[in-house]
Amino acid sequence: MTATTSDILGIRRPDAAGGPAATDRVPAARLIRVEIRKLVDTRAGAWLLVLIAVVTAAAVIVSLFTTDASGLTFEHFVDVTVFPQSVLLPLLGIMAVTTEWTQRTTLVTHTLEPARRRVVAAKFAATAVLWFLAVVLAYAVAAVANILGAALRHGDGSWAYGTGDLRDTALLQLLSLVHGLAFGMLLMNTAAAIVLYFTAPGAVHLLFSTVGSLKGSAAWFDLGASQAPLTDHSIAGIGWLQLLTTTVLWLLLPLAAGMVRLLRREIK
């Protein structure tokens, strides 16, 4: 057997039909850049990112002038950013998956990259990048607010913030984002996924908070109840097991079902 010049030089050759060779693969970094661009370039995606930044800043500003001076600390301002971001970040995860199916552009995507698993992995990586930037934004805004709180309102100005606090905040935001990805993959329709994301956990929370016999087991099934210790940085012991249980029920199972559906769904 002899190797051709193109093989030695690593030149990709078209197949007999004139298309790309079967071994051609789009580099992973390029796939991730494309998925990030899809989220940023579309009107809905761009406005959602702007909304996340504006609402995060607005929540901190309101807290700056409504909280007692003794409570104006870096940890307080970081905690203020958690609620708006945990609400909006999942929408970013939903849109990352559903937009192509809703707008029927999947044919172009999977023609250029037939391996669906690689496309899904790129979407996950792209949303992870934006999650990281959102967390960085939250800490940056909190730092500025802490400085302003000490200067304008003679606030406490404490910068105490442990690694456990950082872990809890980052994990809560990440779980919120994965929750959106899971529901987006499961339904593959933006409107339906958003409605289900807000109504299903809310209905379960209402059930376990109103029925007396169920309140004791709420943290094992209610995602909000199991994640609550992350918001006040009090999670420990059995709380981690409860968080794992609800994460499997509300995130991993829908994510697995959505992956199966995405891999088998016909592309039109």
Q: How many domains is the chain partitioned into structurally?
A: 1
Q: How far apart are CA 88 and CA 97, in angstroms?
A: 15
pLDDT in tens, 147-184: 999 888 888 888 988 888 888 988 998 999 899 999 99
Residue 154 lies in a domain: yes
Residue 104 lies in a domain: yes
pLDDT of residue 1: 44
Residue 125 lies in a domain: yes
Residue 256 lies in a domain: no
Asked if residues 24 and 112 have their Cβ atoms less than 8 Å apart, the reply is: no
pLDDT of residue 264: 84
Residue 222 lies in a domain: no
Model confidence band, residue 24 (pLDDT cutoffs 50, 70, 90): low
Domain range for 130 is: 25-195
What is the rounded (10 degree) CA torsion for 26, 27, 32, 33? -90
Residue 18 lies in a domain: no
Lowest-pLDDT choice from 74-78, 122-126, 211-215: 211-215
Residue 248 lies in a domain: no
